[in-house]
Amino acid sequence: MAKKTTKRRPPGKPVVGIIMGSQSDWPVMRHTAETLEALGIAHEALIISAHRTPKRLDTYASEAQGRGLKIIVAAAGGAAHLAGVTAALTQLPVLGVPMHSASLGGLDSLLSMVQMPAGVPVGTLAIGRAGAVNAALFAAAILGLSDKKVAAALTRWRERQTANAPLVPSDEPQPAR
């Protein structure tokens, strides 16, 4: 099932699966992949849609745990049912990242992920890039409970973030965060 989608993936069997409804989600979701890479967490990234490729989703979610995945990050926009359907098909933790949408700015994506009825949880993060980065960090926090290397990588990541936070504001233009 796993296809090569990023060039610098950490070696090993993927433990985090990143799925997204469309190629158009990748410019945002690559931030999940890049953050996992920075933490040395093996992962895979695939395009799987609940409505365009329902059979692909059924197979992926049903086989995920058996293949060794520990967490699934699901990103979708609009009526973002991908994360909820995935969570219904597996007992693995599913983290949802709502995508920005043209009509409603991603509020539709956010509400359709976060408002899961009691019984099938989706851990929903922020809309867009912040959610994509935080999905990777959240996955690391979960994995770090039973993996000392991941916990140490997350500690180093946070220490770097703290070290890079300036005390005095600069007048120079800053890169987008």
- Interface residue with ligand RP5 among 5, 6, 22, 53 (CB under 6 A) is 22
Binding status of residue 83 toward ligand RP5 by CB under 6 A? no
Decide: helix, strand or coil at residue 123: strand
Least distance from C-beta 22 to ligand RP5, angstroms?
3
> What is d(CA 29, CA 14) in angstroms, rounded to the nearest whole number?
16
Q: Does 106 bind ligand RP5 (CB under 6 A)?
A: no
Which residue, 14 or 128, is less far from ligand RP5 as judged by CB? 128
Return the range that interacts with ligand RP5 (CB under 6 A); candidates 5-13, 73-81, 111-119, 121-129: 73-81
Task: Name the one range near ligand RP5 by CB under 6 A: 62-70, 75-83, 85-93, 115-123.
Answer: 75-83
End-to-end CA distance of the chain: 32
Interaction between residue 76 and ligand RP5 (CB under 6 A): yes
CA atoms within 13 A on the CB side of 92: 29
C-alpha dist (Å) from residue 171 to 44, 106, 174, 176, 177: 39, 31, 9, 15, 16
Q: Nearer Cβ to ligand RP5, position 25 or 44?
A: 25
Instruction: Tell me how far apart the alpha carbons of residues 89 and 87 are, in angstroms, rounded to a whole number.
Output: 5
Q: Near ligand RP5 by CB under 6 A, which window of 8-16, 21-29, 63-71, 162-170?
A: 21-29
Could you give the C-alpha distances from 165 to 34, 134, 138, 153, in angstroms and in order? Answer: 20, 18, 21, 19
User: What is residue 167's three-state secondary structure?
Assistant: coil
Q: By the criterion CB under 6 A, which residues form the site for ligand RP5?
A: 20-22, 24-25, 49, 76-78, 99
